[in-house]
Amino acid sequence: MMTKVAHLYYSKNMVQTDIAKTLGLSQARVSRLLTAAEDRRIVRKVVVPPKGLFSEMERGIEEKFGLTQVHIIDGEGESQNQLTESLGISLASVFEVLPLESKTIGFTSWSRAMREFANSLSSLPRAGAERIVEMLGGVGEPALQHQATSATEKLASLTGAEAMFLRVPGVVSSKAMKSAILEGDPHAVSALQALDQIDVALLGVGSADAADHMQGGSNFFTDEQFELAKEKGAVGEINLRFINSQGEPIEFPYDENVIGVSLEQVRKAQIRIAVAGGERKRDAVLAAARGGWVTVLITDTETAKYLLEA
């Protein structure tokens, strides 16, 4: 009932008295349900900074790296987890004004920032996107993979698009294993082929360090593999494709073990959006900007200063 009332109030713009009549409730009950929906985080109120709040820094980064758009949020005092959530939510206001009709959208569903974005996005009934394609196979524990699937389903529903899932391991033990998996999964093959036609890429940008919440070895790189990538000059990764400080792809022997979008496919997308910030990711964000992998960047003030001073 909390969700129903919140949907009518926020998505359908109905006033509380009309909601009460529609559902046979008192207006006081409707008011309490809306408050409870906020407490349970069914509804989230977001402060959207006015355009131009950090215009000088945004314009400086756009000119320095040749980016189309840069959007900066004030993340001072936030933990890395809080910052990731804020950045993901901020993407919604950028995404809502993009031309999405008949577009194929690549989605990094395992990225926490991207999942926050999908969960905070409002309905886009006239978006008319064609496909939402997952850009990387499953990584992490089953609970994380379930969240990734849910985020993809929600984004597809909100944009009126077909969801194309990549329900195979994101990283496998060998190239032969990858071939064997794909031979038996035509849906995964179709998703990988669709990545050749992505118009909008919602990218995952990370450091060259193993993520604390990931257990390497089953469907993710091991600590030893991350160390090898760093030895070869990696400072960051884009959907688990490693790049050096200048944004150039490194020669990594386990690159063929990844089941997901290639950097060549990423480059084909006209709009490439990265949502990343915090001290741990600064070098990766800088490398992605230097390499031209990003056209739209959403980041925090401290990372923005780092990019300008680099």
Vertex 146 angle, CA 71 and 134, to 5°: 55
**CATH, domain 55-309, list 3.40.50.300, 3.40.50.1360, 3.30.420.40, 3.40.109.10:** 3.40.50.1360
Q: Distance between CA 74 and CA 87 in Å, rounded? A: 10
Per-residue DSSP letters for the chain? Answer: -HHHHHIIIIIS---HHHHHHHHT--HHHHHHHHHHHHHTTSS-----PPTTTTHHHHHHHHHHHT-SEEEEE--TT--HHHHHHHHHHHHHHHHTTS--TT-EEEE-TT-HHHHHHHHHPPP-TT----EEEESB-B-S-HHHHHHHHHHHHHHHHHHT-EEE---SBSB-S-HHHHHHHHHT-HHHHHHHHHGGG-SEEEE-EEESS--TT--TTSSS--HHHHHHHHHTT--EEETTEEE-TTSPBP--TTGGGB-B--HHHHHH-SEEEEE--SGGGHHHHHHHHHTT--SEEEEEHHHHHHHHH-
For the chain, give percent helix, strand, coil, nearest 5. 45, 15, 40
- Residue type present at position 101: E
The tokens for 61 are 């980064």
| Model pLDDT, residue 48 | 60
Of 7-11, 20-24, 115-119, 298-302, which range is least confident?
Answer: 7-11
| Model pLDDT, residue 201 | 98
* 113: exposed, middle or buried (Cβ count in 10 Å: 0-12, 13-18, 19+): buried
Q: Stretch 274-302: mean pLDDT, rounded? A: 96
pTM, two decimals, is 0.83
Smallest CA-to-CA distance from 251 within 217, 221, 228 is with 228
Q: Stretch 34-62: mean pLDDT, rounded? A: 81
Q: Distance between CA 2 and CA 157 in Å, rounded? A: 21
Q: Stretch 219-244: mean pLDDT, rounded? A: 95
pLDDT score of 50 more than 70: no
Residues 100-125 have pLDDT tens digits of 999 999 999 999 999 999 988 887 87
Work out the pLDDT band at 52, boundaries 50, 70, 90: low
Work out the pLDDT band at 193, boundaries 50, 70, 90: very high
* 184: exposed, middle or buried (Cβ count in 10 Å: 0-12, 13-18, 19+): exposed
Per-residue DSSP letters for 195-215? Answer: GGG-SEEEE-EEESS--TT--
Q: Distance between CA 205 and CA 8 in Å, rounded? A: 36
Vertex 70 angle, CA 259 and 242, to 5°: 25
Smallest CA-to-CA distance from 298 within 101, 164, 98, 138 is with 98
Q: How many distinct helices (H) and strands (E) make up the chain? A: 13, 10
pLDDT score of 216 more than 60: no
pLDDT score of 217 more than 60: no
